[in-house]
Amino acid sequence: MKKRKKKFDIVPYLFLSPWIIGFIAFSGVPILASFALSLTSWNMSGKMKFVGLSNFKSIFQSGSTFWGSLRVTLIFTVFSVLLTIFWSLLMATVLNSRIYFKKMFQFFFFLCAVLPTVALGFAFQLMLNSEIGIINYWLKAFLGISSPPNWLTERSWSLVTVIIFTVFTYGTGQMMLVFSSALKEVPRDLYESASLDGANGFQRYIHITLPAISPILLFNMVVAGINSLNGAFSSIYPVTGGGPDGATRVLSLQIYESAFKKYKMGIASSQAIVLFVIALIISLVQFVMSKKWVHYEN
């Protein structure tokens, strides 16, 4: 409140210096360098050649593998966001309703979120194996499905598999916790007046609970979108490795292959720029939303 002239104070910046150095070295310069590299043709060892925008032209050529990857990324992102939002909200709702053994259920619901995707990927590969997997056996034995899908080797099913896999990863557990605390904050008296009006449990959920947590719901969708861009690599690579034949090769896997398998640094950088722009758009949406709904106390 007091207004006084101060001389320049270096101390805060000294405390900040690790971040300042880190920002310059590991974020700022690399982002700028990505833009520069995207305009070159370079294989790490030979000479770097300036090629203008031709990398972008070639990755966006019709029928390029990059278009395929963009398509896979879009499908993966949309469906994994919808599925994980639905599933985490379902789990949070169950944990916040009248049930026995809440603590125990929270443990089971959340457990997979902290486990290595590499280990879970092994489990998925075994249980979804078309010959010795238990899932297809159950589908045949209990549901009478005579020819269950090849979850890992058929193109369209492999995408379904990695989308289902995201239910068992960190992002879903995190959203469940966030939903869970949001549900606890829905004012009790809203429910009481509704029960007087004769609403049943399901109606109360649709008409009171969901609107009350809708800001968190929308907010989580954007977070899930970002998570899905960031986390796609570690949840897809151990399960399918991007295969079969590129069917689950999302952008981050595509970039990984171009850069670190084929050493096409220029092409890979231009793909990374596209990923960056997509993340930027999602972040901007989130920024606008958080202005409306999330308040930082200052």
Partner 1 sequence: MKRMILKVLGTLFAALIAVIMFLPVLIIIGSSVKSLPDISSYPPKIFPENFHFDNFVTVLNTGNILLYFRNTLILIVGNVVGTLFSSALVAYPLARMNFRGKNFIFALILATMMVPATTTIIPQFVMFSKIGWVDTLLPLVVPAFFAYPYNVFLFRQFFMTIPMGLDEAARIDGCNRFQIFTHILVPLSKPIFITIGVMCMVSWWNELFSPLIYINSDELKPLTVGALSVFKAHFQFVTMWNLQMALALIMIIPPILLYLFAQEYLVEGIKTAGIKG
Q: Does the protein bind partner 1 through residue 217 (CB under 8 A)?
A: no
Contacting partner 1 (CB under 8 A), which of 59, 178, 221, 247?
Answer: 178
Among 124, 151, 152, 162, binds partner 1 (CB under 8 A): 124
Restricted to residues 44-63, the positions that interact with partner 1 (CB under 8 A) are 44
**Of residues 55, 77, 80, 117, which one binds partner 1 by CB under 8 A?**
117
Stretch that binds partner 1, among 9-17, 49-57, 59-67, 185-193 (CB under 8 A): 9-17
- Min dist CB 215 to partner 1, Å, is 11
Single residue of 69, 73, 158, 269 touching partner 1 by CB under 8 A: 269
Among 4, 7, 18, 197, contact with partner 1 (rule: CB under 8 A): 18
Cβ contact 111:169 at 8 Å: no
Cβ-based nearer residue to partner 1, 3 or 188: 3
Of the residues 122, 193, 203, 206, which one makes contact with partner 1 according to CB under 8 A: 122
Q: How many residues bind partner 1 (CB under 8 A)?
A: 97
Among 175, 183, 221, 247, indicate the residue that binds partner 1 (CB under 8 A): 175
Terminal-to-terminal C-alpha distance of the chain: 14
Cβ partners under 8 Å of residue 254, min gap 6: 65, 66, 69, 242, 271
What's the min distance (Å) between Cβ of 80 and partner 1?
Answer: 15
Smallest distance, partner 1 to C-beta of residue 61, A: 21
**C-beta closer to partner 1: residue 1 or 63:** 1
Query: Does residue 183 bind partner 1 (CB under 8 A)?
Result: no
153 belongs to the binding site for partner 1 (CB under 8 A): no
Q: What angle do CA 153, 155, 156 make, to 5 degrees?
A: 120
Q: How far is the CB of 60 from partner 1 (least distance, A)?
A: 18
283 binds partner 1 (CB under 8 A): yes
